[in-house]
Amino acid sequence: MQNIINEFIKPELLIIIPVLYIIGEFLKTKCNIIKNCYIPLILVLISTALSTLWVLSISTITTYQGLFASLFTSITQGVLIAGATVLSYEIIKNTKSFKTLTPDIEQNNQPINIEIDKKPLSIPIEEKKETTI
C-alpha cells in the first residue's frame, strides 16, 4: 500500500495529510461560519498552495514548459493530498460510527423494530440454542 501511495504522492508532501486533517477537524468543530460541504474545497486550496510552494522551491524554471509542468505537478499533488485527507477522515468517521451502530445481539435480546411506509414491523431475534456433541 505504501508503494502505491508513493507512486502518486511525493513522499515529501505526505506530511501535509495530517496537517490538513487537523485543519479540517478545526473547521468542522470550531468554526461555525463555514458549511461542512465547503471544507473539502478549502482543503484542496490549502494543499494546492502548499504543494505549489514545495514544487517552486525545488524547481529551476527557465522556460514556459517548465513553468506549466511545475503548475501541473503542484495542482495534481494538491488534489491527491486533499483526497487522501478526506478519504482518511471518512474512513475514521465510518469506523467509529460502525462500532456504535452495531448492537451486541447476544446481550440485547430485544426485537428489532423497523418502520416500512410508516408501519412498524417487528422482527424477533431468535435465541441461540446450544448444542452439545
Write out pLDDT tens, residues 23-52.
999 999 888 888 889 999 999 999 999 999
Whole-number pLDDT of residue 64: 93
The amino acid that residue 58 corresponds to is I
Whole-number pLDDT of residue 121: 56
Is 74:56 a contact under the CB 8 Å cutoff? yes
For residue 98, what is the enclosing H or E element? helix 64-101
Is 43:24 a contact under the CB 8 Å cutoff? yes
Whole-number pLDDT of residue 26: 93
- Helix, strand, or coil (residue 63): coil
Whole-number pLDDT of residue 20: 95
**Model confidence over 103-129: pLDDT tens digits?**
555 555 565 555 566 665 555 556 556
The position carrying cell 513553468 is 67
Whole-number pLDDT of residue 100: 58
Contacts of 110 (CB under 8 A, 6+ apart): 125
